[in-house]
Amino acid sequence: MNIKNYNKFIIVTILCLSALLVISSCAAKDDEVSQVEDAVTTVFEKIDSDRAIELMAELSDYRLVDVRTQEEFDEGHIKGAELMPLDQLESLAGDQLNDKDQVLIVYCRSGNRSGQASDLLKELGYTHVYDLGGIINWTGEIEK
């Protein structure tokens, strides 16, 4: 190979590598944009009583999900709550929570089960899950 052909070969190689670098950089940016868009459309947040009360006042379309046992629920629950015990949540969610974009406010007794339930709902594809934690910290009304 003469020097002129060798120089052309080097230039073409550099141009090809540059093009590959630009293409892979664009693909990486598309992935980052996609991850940001997913983060924007999915809400998963731990909230306190005050924030839950605000959400419930602001929104007309939300579900308040109590993941405790039937006995705990009967002892007292937040007005408007629906009982979906944690050990039955996956099947009940499939039957009763049809809109995966609806706001779900989840609570239990102390906050442990509500965290597990919120994680499960997120894995199941629900996009607006708020973990209220435990009813023991609830500052609003409780009904029996």
**132 class by beta-carbon count within 10 Å (0-12 exposed, 13-18 middle, 19+ buried):** buried
CA 4 to chain centroid, in Å, comes to: 60
The one catalytic residue in 108, 117, 129, 132 is: 108
Residue 40, token pair as written in the block: 């924007």
Residues sharing a CB contact under 8 Å with residue 143, sequence separation 6 or more, in sequence order: 76, 77, 78, 79
Which of 98, 75, 97 lies closest to 84 in space, CA to CA? 97
In the chain, the amino acid numbered 71 is E
Helix, strand, coil percent content, the chain, rounded in steps of 5:
55, 20, 25
Is 108 an annotated catalytic residue? yes
- Residues acting as catalytic residues: 108
